[in-house]
Amino acid sequence: MTSNNHFPADHPAVNIGKVGVLLVNLGTPDAPDRKSVKRYLKQFLSDKRVVEIPQLVWQPILRGIILNTRPQKSAEAYKLVWTEDGSPLAAYTRHQSDKLTERLKDTTVDWAMRYGNPDIASRLNAMKENGCDRILVAPLYPQHSGATTASVHDAVFDALKGMRWQPALRTLPPYHDDPAYIDALAINLKAQLAELDFTPDAVIASFHGMPLRTLELGDPYHCHCRKTARLLSEKMDMELTVSFQSRFGSAKWLEPATDATLQAMPAKGMKNIAIFAPGFSSDCLETLEELAMQGKEQFEEAGGEKFAYLPCLNDSAASMDMLETLLRRELSGWI
């Protein structure tokens, strides 16, 4: 008879004692085709954190109109930015994970997407099976929003519901005003501006937009974006024009809108501009296609002359230094 204090002799050994870090970004379709994009959009736009409309109202619109019209157009846009490594967002997040693995030798570093693959639940399970009984989940969103950071937390804790043996968890706080983040942005911005063959009349910091209603409901995102821009402006000793991109639907969104800002600048005498996206940890569809391609076209059609899109932090040295600093701080006591 087996003692109540011991496992049966044939019970598999439990792998424990490791510390893990799970990087999480927004998500991407598996391929730049209609079927993959439709599957991705269905998951993304069904998240109640992303679309805060009663499901009885929203789901017929999503399934009857949006998922029958938008996937093909979005697939064409993804084709414009797709690389040999696949989606830019997934590729950069994977590179960040690989480089952090080299830097954080006493931890297991992995990555996941909130929507699409690899999904959060599968990576958490894999880390637990690999012996990680303490895991730091790091949503790569500097500015906190219910639609981004909180949604990642939802998925993480949903995954834990199915585990009898749950790892201890920590989550990376928003880092919109962290000196390490502001320093990384300043290093990146200064280097890229120095490489331009013109002096911009204006430098635009374009953040992803959110419905105005989210601000009115108490979401800190707008305030976090404004603080990031203010601190970076002070660090660089230069004026930044703040705008918000990616409007969707008929609701009122955070303003000023990036497209409207670009179209208005030439008439104000600002015909040479540079634009960057400090809220995105990695380049993706919204930066490479919406800003670098559509934004350039909108600006030039309005009379603009010189336009430069400045890439995100991605897996640059400044980015990796920042992430290592933030993660080591949050892992304190574990490693």
Q: pLDDT tens, 272-302?
A: 999 999 999 999 999 999 999 999 999 999 9
The one-character DSSP state at 66 is I
Mean pLDDT in residue range 133-161: 98
Per the model's pLDDT, the better-predicted residue between 178 and 4 turns out to be 178
pTM of the model as a whole? 0.94
pLDDT at 3 over 50: no
- Cα angle: 96, vertex 101, 106; to 5 degrees: 145
- Grouping H, G, I as helix, E, B as strand and the rest as coil, residue 330 is helix
Does residue 9 register a pLDDT over 80?
no
Whether residue 209 contacts residue 244, with contact meaning beta carbons closer than 8 Å, is answered with yes
Please, where are the H alpha helices in 133-200? 149-161, 179-194
Q: What is the DSSP letter of 72?
A: H
Q: Which two tokens stand for residue 63?
A: 């399934």
From first CA to last CA, the distance across the chain in angstroms is 40
Cα–Cα distances in Å, from 305 out to 232, 233, 254, 279? 26, 24, 27, 26
C-alpha distances out from residue 280 to 38, 100, 119, 297, Å: 23, 18, 20, 21
Cα–Cα distance between 241 and 270 in angstroms, integer? 12
Burial 132-144 (b: 16+ CB within 10 A, else e): bbbbbbbbbbbbb
Confidence (pLDDT) at 6:
54
- What pLDDT is recorded for position 228? 98
What is the rounded distance in angstroms from the CA atom of residue 16 to the CA atom of residue 278? Answer: 38
How far, in Å, CA of 302 to CA of 220, rounded?
33
Query: In the predicted model, what is the mean pLDDT of residues 128-152?
Result: 97
Classify 25 as helix, strand or coil. Answer: strand
Q: Which helix (H) or strand (E) holds 273?
A: strand 272-276
Judged against a pLDDT cut of 60, whether residue 248 lies above it is answered with yes
Q: What is the mean pLDDT of the chain?
A: 95
The answer, yes or no, to whether residue 116 has pLDDT greater than 60, is: yes
- Per-residue CA distances from 168 to 19, 20, 152, 164 (Å): 10, 10, 16, 13
d(CA 143, CA 182): 12
pLDDT confidence tier of residue 249, bands split at 50, 70 and 90:
confident
Q: Is the pLDDT of residue 195 over 80?
A: yes
User: Looking at residue 11, what is its pLDDT?
Assistant: 53
Question: What average pLDDT does the segment 80-99 reach?
Answer: 97
Q: Which two tokens stand for residue 90?
A: 């997934």
Question: Concatenated DSSP letters for 77-90?
Answer: HHHHH-BTTB-HHH
Residue 207, both tokens: 């953040």
In three-state secondary structure terms, 310 is: strand
Rounded to whole angstroms, the Cα distance separating 23 from 205 reads 24
Portion of the chain with pLDDT greater than 70, in percent: 96
- Confirm if 150 and 49 have CB atoms less than 8 A apart: yes
pLDDT over 70 (residue 2): no
